[in-house]
Amino acid sequence: MDASLFTSMLFATVVAGTPLIIVSLGLLVNEKAGVLNLGAEGMMAMGAVAAFAVTHHSGNPWLGVLAGMGAGMAVSLIFGLLTLTLQANQVASGLALAIFGVGLSAFIGKPFESIALPAVPPIRIPFIADLPLIGEALYNQQALVYLSWAMFWAVVWFLYRSRAGLILRAVGESPASAHAIGHPVILIRYLAVLFGGAMAGIGGAFLSVFYTPMWVEGMVAGRGWIALALVVFATWRPLRVLVGAYLFGGVMITQLFIQGSGMQIDFPAQFLSSLPYWATIIVLVVISRNVNTIRLNSPMSLGKPFRAEG
Amino acid sequence: MLDTMTQPTPTPAQTAPRLVLSNIRKVYPTVVANDNVNLEVAPGEIHAVLGENGAGKSTLMKIIYGVTRPSAGEMQWEGKTVTVESPAHARELGIGMVFQHFSLFETLTVVENVALALPGKPDLGELAQRIEEVSKRYGLPVDPRRHVHALSVGERQRVEIVRCLLQNPRLLIMDEPTSVLTPQAVRKLFETLRQLAAEGCSILYISHKLDEIKELCHSATVLRGGRVTGHCRPGEETPESMARLMIGKDLPVCEHGASHASDEVRLRLAGLSHATPDPFATDLRDIHLDVRAGEIVGIAGVSGNGQQELLRAISGEEPLAEKFPVQILGTEAGRMNPGQRRKLGMCFVPEERLGRGAVPTMSLADNAILTAAKSQHFVSGGFLAFSRARDFAQNCIQSFSVKCGGPPSPAKSLSGGNLQKFIMGREILQAPKLLVCAQPTWGVDVGAAAFIRQSIIDLRNRGCAVLVISEELDELFEICDRIAVIAKGRLSPVRPTAETSVEDIGVWMSGLWPGSDLAAQQSEQTGELAHAQA
């Protein structure tokens, strides 16, 4: 493999992994508070279409990202109202939200089909972008790629170093106990759900404004579901989410390169296309099969409603 | 239980009361949990709130601690009328509470758990030091850096108490604190509580264990059916007189009679070992036990020492790799599932009533079908004979005087004690050859508990072999012919109950029986250390 091919594959891998990281980190925090929001796909779709529409009208991609974030939060607020205030079933509400978001985004997006946005130029970080092999791939990237790295460290710090994160984990493990020692369980869960929605919205915005700057119905293409699966198979640990997302991106890009290179191979193309999905899952299952790790990291009250007594 | 320690706690000086409750009333949709309750606690006083399960003790404490709001009534704290908005508010006022079911987070460390309950943003390193200081001062050994899931129940309770003490409470509420402790740990706890009271802290002590209240408390308020039915000075009462106040009549006494054990071994555990990868579970190690027809064998122990795992191995919920370690009526049953084991003549009462013992949303008749279908022939020609199941359920309800709306009422609509009576009835009426039961009277009120115990004894007298696993030592001593202790997944030697004492069994509960590894290891160390590991 020559050096420029390696660099361009690494570049593409990072780009492909970025939306998954952003969305998964949001879902991770969401689920660590004990709320399972299966509507990621719908929130991403809404974020994508809102970001596209605002960018198209204003010409400013950053307003678009804000709009995507807002749309994701608005949809997640519906979910919060249903499951936290009205105590509806989280699984059913999440599934409904996924279908709703995808459908509504298709409806809103109709006028924008076949419009392309101007590409947003990457941000080059001086000096380190000149590093051989990796410099161009890692440090001449979209701003949201850098944001995903910053969010990764922020989430790690928040969950494991801050008091607020400690309280959030406590709520996810045992809401009844957290309530008994005086923490506002429902409020904390709302904030976690909104954070999950915001991140899913940003992930969607990345897809429609930066990754492929156009709107196509169904362009989220299952990434919301992959992000959900990543969090579970990564046993709710941020570093494993990061590894899983890049692994998925890497295998995805590799198989695309193989398919596009015209290499003569005996595998059917469908097999290659499915490779990223099961390769990621197998790797994460293998590194996370320790029962101890699962018990210590999975939020015990995940998906269970909580109602304060009295 | 602790009759060796009878020096009464000194009575505090008469001062203005710290806490006054007037006419507290709490109404839930279906029941009145508290009705017109008045209560007064002075500084430095240890005040008992006495009552059967369901008498409204826990509800009253939740009101004081701000977990729930009263429907009516007034609370005065240090002379001022207050409405406690939340537990956080209660802690600000200086009220701390140690819950019966711990409110600890298992996946977090001790210091993180404590930090969660403190206001502001405590520095974890500094907090760990403060925890060590407090735990030394009150004799409550706790390692702040350990994860809670790795702690024993006794240690968890110490964490709860230390967590309260760090907030310098002026009123400490303890809800059934001794139900999970060894007799020695209870003694240590009482020393701590006396020390606290001497320093001026008021303590509300909730329990239904009358001998403990007599030993520890200055005064007592008795609740029955949500109302105050009496006040007394426990030091001047006898457990019998307090029981009369509590249940309104004399305590029923079990007729035990001599054992009629035959030579027929109905349950044999032959070197049962079982390891699990679950960090929250205990490995079973080389357990040997024979239970013969016509005897009751009891297994005591502090919870979390392998009881759950042992029960699962015997019931068949967790089949073993080998056949021989579990032998039921002479059949090597180690690899059989629960249904196959029941077919051999074993009946089983699990510890968890809802979820294991009964399906909450199903009717009592349907729940009867679940375990009794084969033995009571509810199935004919592949179809269920519902009328037979209903009759059987009705029979359980009548013979065990279960308070409920009849066989069609769902299991979850019954109170814990009534459901327990139904489940015990369902198993006992199947006339098992071998009955294995866990915590047969857990959460059942005193009268019903005596009834269940008597039923178990009657079953033995009809030639059934019974194995009882319980954390209530008094209960085991009341009904068992022979008794053993499980500690850290190992089983002690089995002794005839008449030849042992509560004190001996209490020591064994820390794993220190003659010939045990632990006893050998720690023979030269202090008893207190052994205790800390319990």
Contact A173 B280 (CB under 8 A): no
In B350-432, DSSP assigns E strands to: 379-380, 383-384
From the list B69, B91, B280, the residue facing A310 with the nearest CB is: B69
Whether B104 sits inside 8 A of A177 (CB atoms) is yes
Contacts of A295 in chain B (CB under 8 A): 107, 149, 278-280
Q: What whole-number distance in Å separates Cα of residue B44 and Cα of residue A30? A: 45
Residue B434, helix vs strand vs coil: strand
Structural domain containing residue A50: 3-221
Mean pLDDT of the region B226-251: 82
- Would you call A297 and B107 a contact, using CB atoms and an 8 Å cutoff? yes
Residue B447: CB atoms within 10 A of its CB come to 15
Q: Is residue A138 part of a domain?
A: yes
In a domain, A231, yes or no: no
Residue B26 pairs with which residues in a beta bridge? B34
Q: Which residues in chain B have Cβ-Cβ distances shorter than 8 Å to A177? A: 102-105
| Subunit contact B115:A166, Cβ cutoff 8 A | yes
Q: Are A241 and A231 in contact (CB under 8 A)?
A: yes
CB contact under 8 A, A182 and B278: no
Q: Can you name the residues that pair with B274 across neighbouring β-strands?
A: B284
Instruction: Answer yes or no: do B279 and A291 touch at CB < 8 A.
Output: yes
Report whether pLDDT(A9) > 80.
yes
Chain A CB contacts of B279 under 8 Å are 291-292, 295-296
Nearest to A182 among B87, B149, B278 (CB): B87
For residue B259 the two structure tokens come to: 């054992």
Nearest-CA residue of chain A relative to B164? A181
Instruction: Give one word for B255, left, alpha or beta, with left for phi > 0 and alpha for psi -120 to 50.
Output: beta
User: Hey, what long-range contacts does B474-478 have (CB within 8 A, 24 or more apart)?
Assistant: B474/B1, B474/B502, B475/B440, B475/B441, B475/B449, B476/B298, B476/B300, B476/B505, B477/B502, B478/B254, B478/B256, B478/B453
CB contact under 8 A, A166 and B87: no
Interface test with B, best of A158, A177, A306 (most B CBs within 10 A): A177
Decide if A208 is inside a domain. Answer: yes
A170 and B278 within 8 Å at the Cβ level: the answer is no
In angstroms, how far is CA B75 from the centroid of its own chain? 30
pLDDT class of B533 with cuts at 50, 70, 90:
very low
Query: Considering chain B, what percentage of its residues have pLDDT values greater than 70?
Result: 90
> Chain A to chain B, count of Cβ pairs less than 8 Å apart?
72
Residues in Cβ contact with A266 at an 8 Å cutoff, skipping those fewer than 6 apart: none
Closest residue, chain A, to B67 (C-alpha): A180
pLDDT at B529: 46
Say which amino acid occupies B221.
Answer: T
Structure tokens belonging to residue B499: 């030849």
- Phi, psi (rounded to 5 degrees) for A106: -65, -40
Is the confidence at residue B11, as pLDDT, over 60? no
State whether the Cα torsion B202-B207-B213-B219 is positive or negative. Answer: positive
Q: How far is CA B410 from the centre of its chain?
A: 25
Q: Is B224 helix (H, G, I), strand (E, B) or coil?
A: strand
8 Å CB contact between A49 and A105: yes
User: Taking the alpha carbons of B449, B450, B455, B461 in that order, is the dihedral positive or negative?
Assistant: positive
**Residue B470 pLDDT > 50, yes or no?**
yes
- Are the Cβ atoms of B105 and A309 closer than 8 angstroms? no
Shortest Cα–Cα distance, A100 to chain B (Å): 32
Distance, CA of A20 to chain centre: 4
Strand ranges (E), B275-370: 284-292, 296-300, 326-328, 331-332, 346-349
> CA of A59 to nearest chain B CA: how many angstroms apart?
44
Q: Which two tokens stand for residue B443?
A: 């959460």
Report helix, strand or coil for A190. helix
Among A169, A176, A181, select the one facing B108 at the smallest CB separation: A169
Shortest Cα distance, chain B CAs vs residue A162, angstroms: 9
Contact A300 B107 (CB under 8 A): yes
The alpha-helical segments, DSSP class H, found in B166-255 are 183-198, 210-216, 239-247
Domain-embedded: residue A263: no
Nearest Cα to Cα of residue A142 among A18, A35, A43, A255: A18
Q: Is the dihedral of CA B158, B163, B166, B171 positive or negative?
A: negative
Contact between residue B113 and residue B105 where contact means Cβ atoms under 8 Å apart: yes
Record: contact A180-B107, CB cut-off 8 A: no
pLDDT at B14: 56
Residues belonging to chain A: 310
Angle, in degrees to the nearest 10, between helices B183-198 and B153-165: 10
Which residues of chain A approach chain B closer than 8 Å at the C-beta? 163, 166-167, 169-170, 173-174, 176-183, 291-292, 295-297, 300, 309-310
Q: What ranges in B278-351 are assigned the alpha helix state H?
A: 307-315, 338-343
* Residue contact A310–B280, C-beta within 8 A: no
B34 contacts in chain A (CB < 8 Å): none
Mean pLDDT of chain A: 90
Residue A198 in any domain: the answer is: yes
> What distance in Å separates the CA atoms of residue A91 and residue A72, rounded to the nearest whole number?
18
At a CB cut-off of 8 Å and minimum separation 6, what does A148 contact? A18, A21, A22, A25
Cα–Cα distance list, A187 to A30, A93, A113, B67, B413 (Å): 13, 19, 39, 17, 31
Q: What is the mean pLDDT of residues A221-246?
A: 92
Answer whether A310 sits within 8 Å of B68, measured CB to CB: yes
| A303 min Cα distance to partner chain B (Å) | 17
- Closest residue in B to A289 (Cα–Cα): B277
Domains contained in chain A, number: 1
- Give me the pLDDT at residue A246, please: 94
Q: How far is B178 from chain A (nearest CA, A)?
A: 20
Count of residues making up chain B: 534
Lowest mean pLDDT among A81-95, A176-190, A273-287: A273-287
Q: B393, B408 in Cβ contact below 8 A?
A: no
The CA distance from B366 to B389, in Å, is 7
Predicted pLDDT at B5:
43
**Distance separating alpha carbons of residues A240 and A225, to the nearest angstrom:** 17
Contacts with B116 from chain A: Cβ below 8 Å: 166-167, 170, 178, 181, 183
| pLDDT digit string, tens, across residues B373-410 | 888 888 888 888 888 999 999 999 998 888 778 888 88
Closest-CA distance of chain B to residue A293, Å: 9
Q: Which residue in B113, B116, B124, B127 has the most chain A C-beta atoms within 10 A of its own C-beta, making it the best mutation to test that interface?
A: B116
Q: Which residue has the higher pLDDT, B215 or B10?
A: B215
pLDDT digit string (tens) for B311-340? 989 998 888 888 889 999 989 988 999 989
Determine which of B67, B68, B110, B175 to mutate to test the interface with A (most A C-beta atoms within 10 Å). B67
Q: Which one has a higher pLDDT value, A24 or B225?
A: A24
State chain B's mean pLDDT as an integer. 84
By Cβ distance, the residue of A173, A180, A292 closest to B87 is A180
All domains of chain B in start order, with CATH: 1-94+200-247 (3.40.50.300), 265-345+432-533 (3.40.50.300), 356-431 (no CATH)
Closest C-alpha to B269, from B256, B287, B257, B282: B287
pLDDT tens, residue by residue, A123-143: 888 888 888 888 888 888 899
Task: Tell me which of A177, A181, A185, A293 to substitute to probe the interface with B (most B C-beta atoms closer than 10 Å).
Answer: A181
Residue B71 backbone phi and psi in degrees, to 5: -75, -30
Confirm whether A251 is domain-assigned.
Answer: no
**Mean pLDDT score, B54-81:** 87
Average pLDDT over residues B216-241: 87
Quick one: average pLDDT of B362-383? 88
**Most distant CA pair in chain A: distance in Å?**
69
Could you tell me where the DSSP H helices lie in B200-349? 210-216, 239-247, 307-315, 338-343
pLDDT of residue B512: 83
CA distance B197 to B191: 10
- Whether residues A309 and B68 touch (CB distance < 8 A) is answered with yes
How high is the ipTM of this complex?
0.76
Chain B neighbors of A310, CB-CB under 8 A: 62, 67-69
How far is it, in rounded angstroms, from Cα B441 to Cα A173? 30
What pLDDT does A103 receive?
Answer: 95
Q: Is the dihedral of CA A218, A221, A227, A229 positive or negative?
A: positive
What pLDDT is recorded for position B7? Answer: 45
Strand partners, B74: B22
Q: Is residue A247 part of a domain?
A: no
Contacts of A170 in chain B (CB under 8 A): 105, 108, 116
Q: Which of the pair, A297 or B31, is modelled with greater confidence?
A: A297
Q: What is the pLDDT of residue B521?
A: 65
C-alpha torsion B508→B511→B517→B519, nearest 10 = -60
Backbone angles phi, psi at A220, to 5 degrees: -65, -30
Query: In chain B, which residue's Cα lies nearest the Cα of A292?
Result: B279
Q: Å from B101 to nearest chain A CA?
A: 9
CB B87 to CB A300 under 8 A? no
Comparing A24-28, A58-62, A261-265, the range with the smallest average pLDDT is A261-265
d(CA A204, CA B418): 54
The region of weakest confidence among B31-35, B251-255, B466-470, B478-482 is B251-255
In this structure, are residues B57 and B24 in contact, taking their beta carbons and an 8 Å threshold? no
Per-residue pLDDT, B501: 87
Residue A41 lies in a domain: yes
Neighbouring CB atoms inside 10 A of A89's CB total 13
Question: pLDDT tens across B180-190, in order?
Answer: 677 777 888 89
pLDDT digits (tens, 9 = 90+) for A157-199: 999 989 999 999 999 998 988 887 778 899 999 999 999 999 9
Are A209 and A61 in contact, with CB atoms under 8 Å apart?
yes
Contacts of B147 in chain A (CB under 8 A): 296
Q: What is the mean pLDDT of residues A226-240?
A: 91
Q: Compute the C-alpha angle A288/A289/A290, nearest 5°.
A: 95
β-partners of residue B482 are: B297, B496
Query: What pLDDT is attached to residue B101?
Result: 64
- Which chain A residue has the Cα nearest residue B276? A291
Task: Tell me which chain A residue has its CA closest to the CA of residue B163.
Answer: A181
Q: What does the block give as tokens for B384? A: 């269920």
Predicted pLDDT at B177:
79
| B4, pLDDT greater than 70 | no
The closest alpha carbon to A22, from A211, A184, A168, A257, belongs to A211
Q: Do B108 and A170 touch (CB under 8 A)?
A: yes
Contact check, Cβ <8 Å, B108/A173? yes
Q: Which of A178, A182, A296 sits opposite B107 (nearest CB)?
A: A296
Contacts 24+ apart (CB under 8 A), B317-320: B318/B274, B320/B272, B320/B274
B1-10, B75-84, B193-202, B331-340: the lowest-pLDDT one: B1-10
Rounded to a whole number of angstroms, the distance from the CA of A66 to the nearest CA of chain B is 32
* Short-list A222, A227, A232, CA closest to A273: A222
β pairing state of B331-332 and B326-328: antiparallel
Report the distance separating Cα B523 and Cα B396, nearest Å: 51
CB B452 within 8 A of CB B441: yes
Q: And the tokens for A105?
A: 């985004």
